[in-house]
A and B are shown apart, each in its own frame.
Chain A
Amino acid sequence: QKEVEQNSGPLSVPEGAIASLNCTYSDRGSQSFFWYRQYSGKSPELIMSIYSNGDKEDGRFTAQLNKASQYVSLLIRDSQPSDSATYLCAVNIIKSSGNTGKLIFGQGTTLQVKP
């Protein structure tokens, strides 16, 4: 079982729709969760971070975390063609010695928003 799993997609949604991206993780010691967006040929860009159970909203983006189910998701409302990219889920495991500075990434989900 991979430590962080995402559907590779592509996930195709029409412009204006809600895109739902999902991620599961295996280590219950995971403490911090991140969503990055990566355009083709570019580096990952941090778009959301979430640390506690529940929802966190930032503009058109909502991150949802359920630690009991080891599940984190990203909702993109009013999807735009410019949202077409690969979305990477990342998890940071905090050890007793402190933050490891290590992010474990899923393989990413490719999102296509069609005009």
Chain B
Amino acid sequence: KAGVTQTPRYLIKTRGQQVTLSCSPISGHRSVSWYQQTPGQGLQFLFEYFSETQRNKGNFPGRFSGRQFSNSRSEMNVSTLELGDSALYLCASSYSNYEQYFGPGTRLTVT
């Protein structure tokens, strides 16, 4: 089975811009969770989608949003980018909602 894929892998944006990241889960997995990883804060949960519905959301501002499509692919969007949004954004997919498998991540740099 193919693993979780994320596009793009690297991204450089300017403050104030917006960005959309994409995640394709492992075939058959219906749950997609998004995480932000930074050296200072570690891995932090953003939100989780299951069958196109957001089931849980972390403590991030409303500038961070996401959605899931009927084929389970998911996107997250960050509007009005800030320097502090520079991070590795990871998505993870799950079949049983227990074990989560991570994609390679998108490295976002905000200048």
Q: Taking beta carbons and an 8 Å cutoff, which residues of A are in contact with B?
A: 32, 34, 36, 42-46, 49, 51, 88, 90, 92, 98-108
A62–B45 Cα distance when bound, in Å, is 26
Number of residues of chain B lying within 8 A (CB) of chain A: 25
> Which residues on B sit within 8 Å (CB–CB) of A45?
102
Residues of A within 8 A of B101 (CB): 46
In the docked arrangement, what's the CA distance between A20 and B85, Å? 34
**27 interchain pairs, CB-CB under 8 A:** A34-B99, A34-B100, A43-B90, A43-B102, A43-B103, A43-B105, A44-B90, A44-B102, A46-B99, A46-B100, A46-B102, A51-B98, A88-B43, A92-B98, A100-B48, A100-B55, A101-B48, A101-B50, A101-B56, A101-B97, A102-B33, A102-B56, A103-B33, A103-B92, A104-B45, A105-B44, A106-B42
For chain A, what secondary structure do more than half of its interface residues adopt (helix, strand, loop), or is it mixed? strand
